[in-house]
Amino acid sequence: MTQPANVPSLALYLGESYATARLFDANATPETKTKTTPAKTTKKPTAKKAAAKGLHFEKSVFLPQVSLKTFLNQIKTAAGENEIKNIYVVTSYMDRLKPFRLGGSVVQVVPDGFENSYSAGHTQYLSLAAPSLIVSIDEKTDEEFLKKELLRLKKINSEINKVVFQLPEHLVSAEIRTLIKTFFTNENFKIFESSNPSDLEQIRLTLLNAGSEGTKEEIVSEIQEMFGEDASIQFWIKDRFQKDFENVDLYWSSSFFLKNYLLKNKKTDEAFYFDLEKWAHVSEKTSPVWISPWGPIRYEHPIFEKFEVDPFSELTLNSVGQLIVSENNPQHEPGPFIAGRSMKALVLDSFYDELKENPVACEIFGQINTPTLLQKLENHFSILEKGQTLEATLLSREELKQWIRAKLLAWMHLRSVDNACSIFGDLSFLVSANPSPFFRLNTLDFKWADAMTDAIKQQGAL
């Protein structure tokens, strides 16, 4: 349904470390796009042109410096007296949870003897349930037992508010299942039930949905707090924006969006994506099972192959004095040196000379062009250079950058089709500026705000 011009809609990309938003009029005519050539810069429209396109606001922020709540307030201020009631979100924010054990506020109700059955044969993965928050059920279970168990559980964690039922019909009677569900409903628990309690992958999926609920609610509640409880919030799920979904869908929101962008808009079945947060190979191919950090989960998803070097990985010296890219989890907080807060250099920092000329990076990292930050960055890389003890492997910042770029190009060459590669994303210029002689490059014009606006209008959601 078409909304009146004075009811702006919000397209919000919420990444792990940065967010991008566009506030625009629903009935504005979308700009016709044509194939573009590689470019280092993308100028923002002037105020006059923005008004003609129906734009109210467009901005990107680094989330460790500008909170989501503050960013949403900036958007609301930009809307003035106009109400924002249609919010469309693409996200990779849930990836923040991947290094962690989940289930710290989730009660798990299982038949006696089936405690932690979801992890059978997969003990090397992260936990999805706290053993101390498990309630074991047998044929003698009654309401008095459940009350005592709840008291025990709240002594362990007073903030428990979610419960997962793993109650096979052949092991737990209908009467007891009804008793348990009624009890936890009356205690204001959010209930998650496994549709197939005998399926370990299904149990794992249900536990992941429960363990991710708090983060999902944090996002939704901040949006509702700013724009009202009646605001329509739709997330990109598989091939469209929609209101109803499972929390597991949010882990793949951005990957599905990128796949959809390639297939529908550019008629390309694979490409290389270069963003501030990740460098990856995106394909139309899918896999039926997600090998998640918490174990295998049956979930059809795009094959999204990340490059071995993460832009947010730390640059450090190993025990024998070699400059290496750390294999530890990416450092999204406090982020790279160029953000102005970190005391550790990340892979992104090695590309400082290129990033300080890029408008997207300059907007997200507002201090990137300050003399003070440049001096600190040079001092830090000087320490890293002097700390290297093996002469045969000495690397300056420039040499490190060349090494990373060479690995990128070799990785792309191995996956190229007919000696051609398509690339897209805010940092695609890092590759296109120094292309490989072994394959042709085709740079696709991609900007989160543009792609989301087009997807919203193509869906007819407005």
Task: Give the model confidence (pLDDT) of 251-278 as tens digits.
Answer: 999 999 999 998 876 667 889 999 999 9
Domain residues for the domain of 437 are 269-443
- 309, 336: one domain: yes
CATH number at residue 240: 3.30.420.40
- 165, 226: one domain: no
In a domain, 173, yes or no: yes
Give me the pLDDT at residue 462, please: 47
Q: What is the pLDDT of residues 367-420, one digit of tens each?
A: 999 999 999 999 999 999 999 998 888 899 999 999 999 999 999 988 887 788
Cα–Cα nearest to 364, from 75, 59, 77, 91:
59
In a domain, 187, yes or no: yes
- 286, 391: one domain: yes
- 297, 389: one domain: yes
- 257, 195: one domain: no
In a domain, 3, yes or no: no
Q: Which residues of the chain have pLDDT under 70?
A: 1-6, 26-55, 116-123, 265-267, 461-462
Extended strands (E) in 293-386: 295-306, 315-317, 323-325
How far is the CA of 91 from the CAs of 244, 249, 255, 362, in angstroms? 15, 10, 9, 22
User: Residue 137, SS3?
Assistant: strand
In a domain, 1, yes or no: no
- 236, 329: one domain: no
- 170, 284: one domain: no
Cα–Cα nearest to 10, from 103, 81, 72, 95:
72
- 254, 365: one domain: no
- 223, 188: one domain: no
- 358, 334: one domain: yes
In a domain, 371, yes or no: yes
Q: How many domains does the chain have?
A: 3
- 418, 276: one domain: yes
Give me the pLDDT at residue 155, please: 96
- 292, 430: one domain: yes
In a domain, 2, yes or no: no
Stated pTM of the model: 0.89
Give 412: exposed, middle or buried? Use CB within 10 Å, 0-12, 13-18, 19+: buried
Give me the pLDDT at residue 47, please: 47
